[in-house]
Chains A and B, each alone.
Chain A
């Protein structure tokens, strides 16, 4: 059976890559390496007398099915992904714990100032609620974006991954996220103070604010460092590679 349009290998490989690339498991580097494999494979198969199209079909079959490839590549990826998500997880947990501690200390502060637990309770409850809402909303948004626009989500992830490959940029990105998370704490405090019609005494507020941020930074940083150490200990060298190897053996 002859197709009316001649077979274009480059186009076929591009389409194959595109299909594979819709999964965030594969980064640009993976796709290029697999394409390079396909090219060599097609070349060798053609030398045995096959047409380019037949060679391409066999080569794609030999390289493996999309799902299997994805599974196998995903097993190696986590080291990167988990470390990112683990860092994020620990940062969020750290900030959450800090929020609890500071809310408690603030409650005590309000009790001493107003001589009533009423304000303390409001402060603590609202502080936690606002924080939880913020965290849940961001998580939900992220999941929604990823689920809703599969291509879009994959696009973002692969972009972030390519960018993150440069150490400088990944550090900068990390610092921005970090700064945003830290900044959210005092913002919540100010918002709560406003809600309770408490006039902020700015000259007195600043040192307190700075101290809070400094303590936050130190604690969260140490939390992240601890998480990194932990990650390094968990990650491979436990012989799991053997299970990772070929032919989708599980």
Chain B
């Protein structure tokens, strides 16, 4: 299980990445993260929405209410150009951390 801090730090990046695959709604975003991480990343469900709203306010994503198959309305989110740019920067930064850690954790030859 990921620590709270890491979950919090990675939320925007995860949302941006999933939305870069195409538009989606809140519940599906949570499901997708849950499945892909094999249950290691658990978002407390309601808390995703304030983040989405914040991202919308920052013009990273935009939303639209639409009718779902069930007949009820559902709010779909999709990336905006600014969000795509943000994802690009985020990617670079996460990869930098990833590369650094991989290098550090490469099996070291032991002398003893």
Contact B75 A245 (CB under 8 A): no
Residue among B50, B54, B55 having the largest count of chain A Cβ atoms under 10 Å: B50
Tell me the nearest residue of chain B to A32, going by C-beta.
B73
Contact A63 B46 (CB under 8 A): yes
Q: For chain A residues 69-126, which have a beta carbon within 8 Å of chain B?
A: 69, 72-73, 75-76, 79
Task: Known contacts A72-B46, A73-B49; decide if A246 and B73 are in contact (CB<8 Å).
Answer: no
State whether the Cβ of B47 lies closer than 8 Å to any Cβ in chain A. yes
Per a CB cutoff under 8 Å, which of A32, A33, A36, A64 touches B47? A64
What band does the interface of chain B fall in when counting residues whose beta carbon is under 8 Å from A? 20 to 34
Task: Known contacts A76-B53, A237-B58; decide if A242 and B44 are in contact (CB<8 Å).
Answer: no
State whether the Cβ of B7 lies closer than 8 Å to any Cβ in chain A. yes
Q: A36-B75, A40-B74, A247-B43 are in contact. List 12 more A-B contacts (CB 8 A).
A: A30-B53, A33-B49, A36-B25, A36-B26, A36-B73, A37-B45, A39-B72, A44-B31, A73-B49, A244-B54, A246-B51, A249-B4
- 9 A-B pairs within 8 Å (CB atoms) are namely A36-B72, A40-B25, A73-B49, A242-B12, A245-B11, A246-B44, A246-B47, A247-B7, A248-B47
| Main SS class of interface, A | helix
Determine the chain B residues whose CB is within 8 A of the CB of A79 once the complex forms. Answer: 57
- In Å, the complex CA distance between A245 and B3 comes to 13
State whether the Cβ of A186 lies closer than 8 Å to any Cβ in chain B. no
- In Å, the complex CA distance between A121 and B4 comes to 62
Q: Which residues of A contact B (CB under 8 A)?
A: 30, 32-34, 36-37, 39-41, 43-44, 62-64, 68-69, 72-73, 75-76, 79, 236-237, 241-249
Tell me the nearest residue of chain B to A249, going by C-beta.
B4
Tell me the nearest residue of chain B to A237, going by C-beta.
B58
Q: For chain B residues 32-84, which have a beta carbon within 8 Å of chain A?
A: 42-51, 53-55, 57-58, 68, 70, 72-75
Task: Known contacts A73-B50, A241-B12; decide if A249 and B7 are in contact (CB<8 Å).
Answer: yes
Tell me the nearest residue of chain A to B11, going by C-beta.
A245
- Distance in angstroms from B34 CB to nearest chain A CB is 11
- In Å, the complex CA distance between A37 and B73 comes to 10
Task: Known contacts A236-B57, A246-B7; decide if A43 and B45 are in contact (CB<8 Å).
Answer: no
State whether the Cβ of B92 lies closer than 8 Å to any Cβ in chain A. no
Shortest 5 CB-CB contacts between residues of A and residues of B: A64-B46, A245-B8, A245-B11, A249-B4, A63-B46
- Distance in angstroms from A8 CB to nearest chain B CB is 15
- In Å, the complex CA distance between A72 and B72 comes to 25
Residue among A36, A69, A236, A243 having the largest count of chain B Cβ atoms under 10 Å: A36
Tell me the nearest residue of chain B to A64, going by C-beta.
B46
